[in-house]
Chain A
Amino acid sequence: MIQSLIISLKVLLVDVPLLLIIGTSSGWLLAKKDFPGKPILETALMLPVALPPAVLGLYLLMALGSIPAMRSMGLLFSFPAASIAALIPSMPLIISASRTGFLSVPNSLEEAARTMGKGEWQIFYRITLPLARKYILAGLALSSARALGDFGVTLMIAGNIPGRTQTLPLYIYSQVESLEFAKANAAAAVLACVGVASLLFVRRMEGRS
């Protein structure tokens, strides 16, 4: 189990910064900017949460396996594939949370800062981001929990290779298959605790004004 736990943690180590950077910047883009094709981008970014994991896994498998540039990177059934598999279905959660956060910041605050001689980066770091932060952190907690718990997509594109791509949820599945319920339960307890903790964290963020 320790081996799987380490792989799961490594997946989080890669995915959490990506969730933060990509999720927050997409959320900002969707909340604050108007551009042609925005509804299409919005739908595309939200699609992974609506697609069944098996379908999403299949499409990713085809993409990674048949597009020459991707195939040559040899991502399939490796640790990077496990990271991608966990990342993609959890991304919509942080995007929509941070979009809500950015929308909650009145434009007049940013305009006021502009008339006080502040540049756009400064406005973002000192006004917009701090005010949207609790939404972003709540979104990060939920999306990280989703990433940690991914099963279907990981199985489709990264497989279930102990020591390489076997994350905790896949470990549980393998143990149940071989009727090792005690081991399965131990791993399940870890994931359940993380799930409860992330919900408590989200509640705390939502309660803070």
Chain B
Amino acid sequence: MTWLDASFRHSIGDFDLDVDISMEKEISVFFGPSGAGKSMTLRLMAGLIKPNGGGRLVLGNRVLSDESSWTSPKTRRISMVFQDLALFPHMTAQQNVAFAMDDRMPRREANKEASKWLEKVGLNGKKNLFPPQLSGGQRQRVALARSLASEPDLILLDEPFSALDTPLRRSLRRELKRLHRETSVPMIYVTHQIEDVCSLGDRIFLVKDGRITGKIRSEELLSGTGERWHSLGWGTTMEGTVVRGDGGMRFLWNGGKLILPPSINEEGPASAFISPDNISLLYPNIPMDPIFSENIVRGTVLERYIIGNLCHLHVEGGGTSWQLEFPSTSYTSLDTEEGSPVAMAIRPRNISIIFKNRRNLP
């Protein structure tokens, strides 16, 4: 028996979700493309929606829902950080945090506690500002403080850092891990960014098309060979080396090389990950964006299928199998039938590098 055991079946329209999750008191990451059912799973856990096909949620020794019972979100002690953060615009930072506690203690005490929480997330002196007066990163911190202040048994984070730029995301991830160490509140973090997966999660669930298609512990992912990565079943992963070249860093693998973004500044053996929606196809004879001109890989379409309005391609090229995903209305004038030759372009900033055998990202 693990600490958390959950299974839900829920369908809306023609999307149907069927997931089983179990985890200890740790940080888990739900990773997968948009629309895979990650957020829906969180909402089912929080009790914001009732599973219409049945479900079960056990937290420690508390049965929060099963065939015969259902606990409302009010008494679940599961707090959630929403993608839009859901800060109350008519309350100051301090009032936002105090709101989470004022059922348990007098208002004045809640305010005092709220100040402490705000200090803990590095927002000294900001407690009397309203959300619109805070920067993006500061708002994230208020939302984190507020979710921790309600003393939950579990915190659900629904892509809370998705709107921020990379350095800020990195510092907030570090912050989140520190808060987890200090409070030891288990967390589930939803993301479609591979960096989050590598730097945050103890346990990784790959969510795809309403199913959990992979469960991996992060050590395996970081120390393992490419096989583990491929077991994620989504995106393109290659094993190779990062080396310094003229004019920037390169990723070399036994089928070619890619130019890396300037944010990468060390060398060594690494994996490169490219998500399927970040690979573009090139039209022959049409001038291209110069940024594309060097990161081009030529290959042959192995398989093509369309699900909903997304077209999926598997392309063999440079000794690797590449996965592409784009709206089925794109590239209609291009020959993407099975067996056709195609040229793929990748922007350097869309390449994620994970160095071997250590957590290079905080």
Contacts and interface: CB of A to CB of B under 8 A. Distances in A.
Contacts, number: 55
A117 B82 CA distance: 16
A131 B91 CA distance: 10
A38 interface: no
Interface residues of B, number: 25
**DSSP majority for the B interface?**
loop
Given A119-B74, A126-B99, A114 B86 contact: no
A68 interface: no
Interface residues of A, number: 16
A118 B47 CA distance: 13
Contacts of A127: 88
B16 to A, nearest CB: 21
Contact of B48 (A114, A116, A119, A130): A114
A117 B74 contact: yes
A108 B160 CA distance: 13
Contacts of B259: none
Interface string A156-192: 0000000000000000000000000000000000000
A127 B86 CA distance: 11
Nearest to B82: A108
**DSSP majority for the A interface?**
helix
A114 B82 contact: no
A171 to B, nearest CB: 43
Interface in B46-74: 46-48, 72-74
Nearest to A123: B74
A115 B76 contact: yes
Given A106-B84, A115-B78, A118-B74, A131 B99 contact: no
Given A108-B82, A126-B99, A114 B74 contact: yes
B100 A111 contact: no
Given A117-B103, A117-B150, A118-B103, A109 B74 contact: no
B147 to A, nearest CB: 8
Given A127-B88, A131-B89, A112 B103 contact: no
A113 interface: yes
B25 interface: no
